[in-house]
A and B are shown apart, each in its own frame.
Chain A
Amino acid sequence: MEFRSVEKTYDGHVNVVDNLNLEIERGEFLTLLGPSGSGKTTTLMMLAGFEAPTSGDILLSGRSLSSVPAYKRNMGLVFQNYALFPHMTVAENLAYPLRRRHTPKAKIAEELARAVSIVKLDGLEARYPAQLSGGQQQRVALARALIFEPDLVLMDEPLGALDKNLREQMQLEIKHLHAELAMTVVYVTHDQSEALTMSDRVAVFHEGLIQQIDTPQLIYEHPLNSFVANFIGENNTLPGTVESVGEKQCEVRLNCGALIQAKPVNIEGVGAQASVSVRPERVVVFKPDGIDADQNQFTNRLAAVVSEVIYFGDHVRLHVDADGRELTVRMPLDATLDVTAGKTVALAWAAEHCAALDPL
């Protein structure tokens, strides 16, 4: 599956999808992640055949899909609102794609029984969708998109309507199904934790462009630009100016005066504006006097005043003020340091855990 310089515009001015090049491997779980209006759903709809690219081409195993109508593409589609047919029972809904393919009756019954047991809907075959809970409806929708063994399963925010617990449970179930059935999945979501937990690869969309496409770990640990860094997970951004650029390290003079060592990822060169990005869990908190021996192992140090201490159960979160810049720090529970609001602390982190990115 391949997108070749695909563009899509609705009004002739703005490209909803801009110069999209994307390859989808057989058997992989690819998530299209982005805020609403970033072009991810449009991409999915072009894949499914409900929208035609304005230019460029979509290929399946090297064959262009542009003249293949949606009903011939053999792609299972799961919608956010399930789109179950309310006038059909669960069994009729599940048999629908098989009937359209004129599958023999005995084979339909066989496939039906298998699908029902895979998604754990045994005994509910005769019910109508309105008689099912949200999670059960979601399972029916899922089974209906899988039952005809499509080349590709497309999911458009399928868990958006479920509550948090059910959503997490379904995330795992979909992940397990993916592994079990070895299917190729393209999954659209705006929920970054969903994208990280489920995918083999994540494509982060913003303003019609893919910002980064990588494994969840690389997306989180090595964001390629400030958008990705801030969109995925929590992030601290410190604006400054680049002072020197080396091969593995660069120096950024923050606006507050401190000099920070960082990985040069997305900067233009000496003198350019940049923003330094560091995750809250990578920041360590020390006493301000600087005598602590451990403190010296970190290259970067910054003085800050604690403005709020929030207890989260599994960790403590500090909101600190570093010369007018609000930062967030995740402190493990067993930290010996006693912090209260109003106290001055020293923040420290390693150069390898912070990246110099494009200015926001």
Chain B
Amino acid sequence: MTTPPPAETASLRRKLAVSNRRRQLTALALLAPALSLMLVAFVVPIGTLLSNAVHAPIFVDTVPELAAALRAWDGKSIPGESMHRLLVAEMGRAYKDKSLARASTRVNYERSGMRSLIMKTGRRAKRLEPPYREALRELHADWAELATWHALKASSSALTGRFLLQALDLKRDFDAGVQRVPEQQQVYLDRLRLTFWISIIVTLLCAAIGYPMAYLIATTRGSTSRILLILVLLPFWTSLLVRTAAWVVLLQQEGIINDTAIWLGLFDAPQQLIFNRLGVFVAMVHILLPFLVLPLYSVMKSIPRDHSRAAASLGARPLSAFLTVYFPQTIPGLGAGCLLVFILSIGFYITPALVGGSADQMISAIIAEFALGTANWGLASALALILLCCVAIVYPLFGRYAGARNLRLG
């Protein structure tokens, strides 16, 4: 091989750079539609929604000067007349342009009763006369309480940790700092624990049922395997709602399963099979099974039959051959399937809502309740953010320990 003169190599390098750049631009152009869809339909809305968990500027936006003054206040004693004057002036204005109601809802999360107090103050602001400190106390005795002012101060910054703390059954007291909420108010951590617990059980059940199933499909030949695969895929072709409703029909007190079991003499009386934990497990496992079977099947399909024969010829008994040669090779598929099932079940909403009892509602149902029912977007987003964080922790753990590196999803 000969080395061309320097001038020639330089021009060659330039040509290579140009052609590389062109290739990169082409790749980018091809990706552009998908990327913009991702951005518009996924990253921006979800990011905005989740930002609600820590960003609640409504109070600050509505009464900016009062909020600034509250932020500067040290909170040790009831503030002076100037703060009271500012409060009356800004709340009166906000009441008039009808923005006070939403701002007062924000304060109400900090201390219940604040909404009606603020609305009352705004309504009467016009008629109040200085000194405002006394006028407000006359209007409502709560204005003489330090806790009332602390609630206002807590709402006075756009960024807040209160929703995240609340989602973890914590609260911040002005004096005592972050602490656990009283036991009878602790709800969210229990729900989160329940959600994880149900998801783990569902994942284990899916693995226990799905593994032999995938094995059968992957190792039988010809049309039997195809028919079994179609049976697994069949649930995908019907809507989730229909399948869940079907379980209601099957499992209810006068349903087919109860009737059959009584007819066979298994039960004396109809059993409660639905609207409890059992119903949740049955319906969720049924819905999620394909997500476990399919990745497992694709991995099992790629394991040559010769491996089992080789193991046998080398002196391994069938069980030992399975445990040392077959099973280790299916771990990536099993890990991917379990991960998929686990992540999907953590977010399950409709199924537990329809076939579970009130004690079986998972965290998604609570999120939906806050988002759609009471419009507490801050808490809904905080719970969703915590759920997302849990998934973000579980995912790499699975990746490392279940050897799912060959089958990364996304």
Q: Name, among A75, A77, A101, A154, the residue most crowded by chain B CB atoms within 10 Å (CB to CB).
A: A77
Determine if B309 and A83 form an interchain contact, defined as CB atoms under 8 angstroms apart. Answer: yes
Determine if A77 and B313 form an interchain contact, defined as CB atoms under 8 angstroms apart. Answer: yes
Q: How far is the CB of B327 from chain A (nearest CB, A)?
A: 10
Interface string of A108-149 (1 = CB under 8 A from B): 000000000000000000000000000000000000110010
Is B268 among interface residues, defined by CB-CB distance under 8 A? no
Q: Which of B297-322 contact A (CB under 8 A)?
A: 304, 306-307, 309-318, 320-321
Q: How far is the CB of B304 from chain A (nearest CB, A)?
A: 6
Measured CA separation A250–B311 after assembly (Å): 55
The answer, among A79, A86, A101, A145, for a CB contact under 8 Å with B306, is A79
Q: Which of B314-366 contact A (CB under 8 A)?
A: 314-318, 320-321, 324-325, 328-329
Report B-chain residues with C-beta under 8 Å of the C-beta of A83.
304, 306-307, 309-310
Q: Name, among B304, B306, B310, B325, the residue most crowded by chain A CB atoms within 10 Å (CB to CB).
A: B310
The answer, among A48, A74, A154, for a CB contact under 8 Å with B315, is A74
Determine if A100 and B313 form an interchain contact, defined as CB atoms under 8 angstroms apart. Answer: no
Report A-chain residues with C-beta under 8 Å of the C-beta of B307.
83, 85
Determine if A144 and B309 form an interchain contact, defined as CB atoms under 8 angstroms apart. Answer: no
Known interface pairs A97-B314, A100-B314; A48-B309 also in contact (CB < 8 Å):
yes
Measured CA separation A85–B304 after assembly (Å): 10
Report A-chain residues with C-beta under 8 Å of the C-beta of B314.
71, 76-77, 96-97, 100, 144-145, 148
Determine if B320 and A87 form an interchain contact, defined as CB atoms under 8 angstroms apart. Answer: no
Known interface pairs A96-B314, A97-B314, A101-B315; A70-B309 also in contact (CB < 8 Å):
yes
Determine if A96 and B312 form an interchain contact, defined as CB atoms under 8 angstroms apart. Answer: no
Known interface pairs A71-B317, A96-B314, A148-B314; A87-B309 also in contact (CB < 8 Å):
no
Determine if A87 and B328 form an interchain contact, defined as CB atoms under 8 angstroms apart. Answer: yes
Interface string of A54-91 (1 = CB under 8 A from B): 00000000000000011111111101010101110000
Q: Name, among B313, B316, B317, B321, the residue most crowded by chain A CB atoms within 10 Å (CB to CB).
A: B313
Report A-chain residues with C-beta under 8 Å of the C-beta of B318.
71
Determine if B315 and A97 form an interchain contact, defined as CB atoms under 8 angstroms apart. Answer: yes
Measured CA separation A11–B170 after assembly (Å): 72
Known interface pairs A81-B304, A85-B325, A87-B329; A100-B310 also in contact (CB < 8 Å):
no
Is A298 among interface residues, defined by CB-CB distance under 8 A? no
Measured CA separation A97–B312 after assembly (Å): 9
The answer, among B306, B311, B315, B321, for a CB contact under 8 Å with A81, is B306
Q: How far is the CB of B197 from chain A (nearest CB, A)?
A: 32
Measured CA separation A79–B312 after assembly (Å): 13
Report A-chain residues with C-beta under 8 Å of the C-beta of B329.
85-87
Is A311 among interface residues, defined by CB-CB distance under 8 A? no
Report A-chain residues with C-beta under 8 Å of the C-beta of B306.
79, 81, 83
Q: How far is the CB of A359 from chain B (nearest CB, A)?
A: 40
Report B-chain residues with C-beta under 8 Å of the C-beta of A144.
314
With both beta carbons as reference points, the residue of chain A lying nearest to B302 in the complex is identified as A86
With both beta carbons as reference points, the residue of chain A lying nearest to B310 in the complex is identified as A83
Report A-chain residues with C-beta under 8 Å of the C-beta of B325.
85
Q: How far is the CB of B398 from chain A (nearest CB, A)?
A: 18
Measured CA separation A77–B311 after assembly (Å): 10
Q: How far is the CB of B286 from chain A (nearest CB, A)?
A: 32
Determine if B304 and A77 form an interchain contact, defined as CB atoms under 8 angstroms apart. Answer: no
Determine if B320 and A70 form an interchain contact, defined as CB atoms under 8 angstroms apart. Answer: no
With both beta carbons as reference points, the residue of chain B lying nearest to A77 in the complex is identified as B313
Determine if A70 and B313 form an interchain contact, defined as CB atoms under 8 angstroms apart. Answer: yes
Measured CA separation A87–B324 after assembly (Å): 10
Report A-chain residues with C-beta under 8 Å of the C-beta of B324.
96
Q: How far is the CB of B19 from chain A (nearest CB, A)?
A: 32
Interface string of A142-165 (1 = CB under 8 A from B): 001100100000100000000000
Report B-chain residues with C-beta under 8 Å of the C-beta of A145.
313-314
Q: Name, among A73, A75, A97, the residue most crowded by chain B CB atoms within 10 Å (CB to CB).
A: A97
Determine if B304 and A76 form an interchain contact, defined as CB atoms under 8 angstroms apart. Answer: no
The answer, among B304, B309, B315, B328, for a CB contact under 8 Å with A100, is B315
Report B-chain residues with C-beta under 8 Å of the C-beta of A97.
314-315
Determine if B309 and A71 form an interchain contact, defined as CB atoms under 8 angstroms apart. Answer: no
Measured CA separation A70–B321 after assembly (Å): 12
Q: How far is the CB of B325 from chain A (nearest CB, A)?
A: 5
Interface string of A255-268 (1 = CB under 8 A from B): 00000000000000
With both beta carbons as reference points, the residue of chain A lying nearest to B305 in the complex is identified as A83
Q: How far is the CB of B254 from chain A (nearest CB, A)?
A: 51
Report B-chain residues with C-beta under 8 Å of the C-beta of A74.
315
Measured CA separation A87–B406 after assembly (Å): 12
Report A-chain residues with C-beta under 8 Å of the C-beta of B317.
71, 100
Measured CA separation A86–B316 after assembly (Å): 17
Determine if B328 and A71 form an interchain contact, defined as CB atoms under 8 angstroms apart. Answer: no
Q: Name, among A48, A85, A101, A144, the residue most crowded by chain B CB atoms within 10 Å (CB to CB).
A: A85
Determine if A75 and B313 form an interchain contact, defined as CB atoms under 8 angstroms apart. Answer: yes
Determine if A77 and B320 form an interchain contact, defined as CB atoms under 8 angstroms apart. Answer: no
Q: How far is the CB of A285 from chain B (nearest CB, A)?
A: 48
With both beta carbons as reference points, the residue of chain B lying nearest to A97 in the complex is identified as B314
- Pull 23 A–B residue pairs with CB atoms less than 8 Å apart, ordered by A: A48-B309, A49-B312, A50-B309, A70-B309, A70-B313, A71-B315, A71-B318, A71-B321, A73-B313, A75-B313, A76-B313, A76-B314, A77-B310, A77-B314, A79-B306, A79-B309, A81-B304, A81-B306, A96-B314, A96-B324, A97-B314, A100-B314, A148-B314
Given A71-B313, A77-B309, A77-B313, 4 more pairs with CB closer than 8 A: A48-B309, A50-B312, A70-B309, A154-B313
A residues within 8 Å of B by Cβ? 48-50, 69-77, 79, 81, 83, 85-87, 96-97, 100-101, 144-145, 148, 154
B residues within 8 Å of A by Cβ? 304, 306-307, 309-318, 320-321, 324-325, 328-329
Q: Which 6 A-B pairs have the closest CB atoms?
A: A77-B313, A97-B314, A83-B310, A83-B306, A100-B315, A70-B312
